[in-house]
């Protein structure tokens, strides 16, 4: 398999007035095409710093980082921004959708920054494809306030996919969602991963991490555990369990 992410001896030190903070320490990590990885760890363990590095939002202090075979440290900030826009889709805890703008228009946004610009028909093809991939077909013309939390997060995922990135990065994507909606979103990620999309996400919830294929745990800036998920949760199975529990509760009341 081809590595999408290849980190060798990565360090990130924040220089602050109160002294240096060594947020990521000597991390070596390889993630291949088609993987679905959860990064876990307590608050302050370096998860967000790692994600910012993987997403080319931040430069490591030392070490080698190859994104899809490209040595990112050798690029100018403009080139890095370009690579980021082409190769990486981001999903955040807070959705970050424009409020007065329909789902379709939110999804089109990243294409406004594309070089060269896509033709109108290519834009439409891409939006239709990601609406289909995220199961949002009939919600395309709704503004965010007319969508449920799960649908809003799916719009954010569709927007992250519209540039057809090599990698989807998500920092606590279920952090603002209730249990049922979190399972729904993990189902959307599983369906995307089944189609070959590589996903790396941060979560502090162990049962959410169980939907992915590989769990990495960080502590004090280091990777302390990295293992394949055995018996991983499937969204449709867990949703059916919730439905049965609800039915039992309804019958008992
Ligand atoms: P996590 O996402 O696991 O909570 P972070 O990567 O946000 O961890 O933080 C790791 C460490 O780096 C923490 O000690 C945090 O306080 C520190 N840190 C994070 N961002 C900055 C920054 N911009 N400047 C200084 N220190 C930072
Ligand atoms: Mg964080």
| 7-55 pLDDT per residue, tens | 999 999 999 999 999 999 999 999 999 999 999 999 999 999 999 999 9
Tell how far the Cα of 129 is from the centroid of ligand 2, in angstroms: 31
21 lines ligand 1 (CB under 6 A): yes
What gap in Å lies between CA 30 and CA 67, rounded to an integer? 10
- The answer, yes or no, to whether any atom of ligand 1 lies below 6 A from the CB of 13, is no
pLDDT of residue 17: 94
Q: Residue 166's pLDDT band (boundaries 50, 70, 90)?
A: confident
User: Which residue minimizes the CA distance to atom 12 of ligand 1?
Assistant: 23
203 pLDDT tier (thresholds 50, 70, 90):
very high
Q: Is the pTM of this model over 0.75?
A: yes
With a 6 Å cutoff on the Cβ, whether 20 touches ligand 1 is no
The stretch 173-196 carries a mean pLDDT of 91
Query: Could you tell me the distance, in angstroms and rounded to a whole number, from the CA of residue 60 to the centre of ligand 1?
Result: 13
| Domain membership of residue 186 as a residue range | 3-252
d(CA 7, CA 28): 5
Q: What's the rounded mean pLDDT across residues 84-99? A: 89
The pLDDT score that the predictor gives to residue 225 is 97
pLDDT at 177: 87
Atom of ligand 1 lying closest to residue 48 CA? 2
Q: Do 219 and 40 meet the contact criterion of CB atoms below 8 Å apart?
A: no
Confidence of residue 94 (pLDDT cuts 50, 70, 90): confident
CA of 14 to the centre of ligand 1 (A): 8
State in Å: Cα 135 to ligand 2 middle.
Answer: 29
pLDDT digits (tens, 9 = 90+) for 125-148: 999 999 998 989 889 999 999 999
In what side-by-side order are the strands of the sheet with 222-228?
A: 88-92, 167-171, 198-202, 36-40, 214-219, 222-228
What lies within 8 Å, CB to CB, of 151 at 6+ separation is: 103, 136, 139
Taking CA atoms only, the protein residue closest to ligand 1 atom 22 is 14
Number of domains in the chain: 1
Query: Which residue of 11, 12, 14 sits with most ligand 1 atoms within 8 Å of its CB, as the best mutation to test the pocket?
Result: 14
- Integer CA distances (angstroms), 4 to 29, 55, 88, 200, 214, in order: 11, 12, 11, 11, 15
* Ligand 1 close to Cβ of residue 52 (< 6 A): no
Q: What is the CATH number of the domain that holds 42?
A: 3.40.50.300
pLDDT for res 217: 98
Q: How many residues does the chain have?
A: 253
225 in Cβ contact with 37 (< 8 Å): no
C-beta of 203 in contact with ligand 1 (< 6 A): no
Is the distance from the beta carbon of residue 18 to the nearest atom of ligand 1 less than 6 Å? no
Give me ligand 1 centre to Cα 19, in Å: 13
């Amino acid at each position: 398999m081809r590595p999408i992410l290849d980190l060798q001896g990565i360090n990130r030190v924040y220089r602050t007035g109160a002294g240096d903070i060594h947020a990521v320490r000597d991390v070596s990590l390889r993630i291949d095409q088609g993987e679905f990885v959860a990064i876990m760890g307590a608050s302050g363990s370096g998860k967000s710093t790692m994600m910012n590095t993987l997403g080319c939002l931040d430069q490591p202090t030392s070490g080698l980082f190859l994104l899809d075979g490209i040595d990112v440290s050798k690029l100018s900030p403009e080139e890095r921004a370009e690579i980021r826009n082409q190769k990486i889709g981001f999903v955040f805890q807070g959705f970050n959708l424009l409020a007065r703008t329909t789902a379709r228009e939110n999804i089109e946004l990243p294409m406004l920054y594309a070089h060269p610009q896509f033709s109108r028909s290519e834009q439409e093809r891409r939006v239709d494809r990601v609406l289909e991939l995220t199961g949002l077909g009939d919600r395309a013309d709704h503004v965010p306030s007319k969508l449920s939390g799960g649908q809003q997060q799916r719009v954010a995922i569709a927007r992250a996919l519209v540039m057809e990135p090599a990698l989807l990065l998500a920092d606590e994507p279920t952090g603002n969602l209730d249990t049922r909606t979190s399972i729904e979103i993990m189902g959307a990620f599983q369906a995307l991963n089944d189609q070959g999309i590589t996903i790396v996400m941060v979560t502090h919830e162990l049962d959410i991490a169980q939907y992915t294929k590989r769990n990495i745990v960080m502590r004090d800036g280091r990777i302390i555990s990295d293992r394949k998920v055995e018996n991983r949760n499937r969204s449709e199975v867990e949703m059916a369990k919730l439905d049965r529990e609800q039915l039992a509760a309804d019958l008992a009341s």
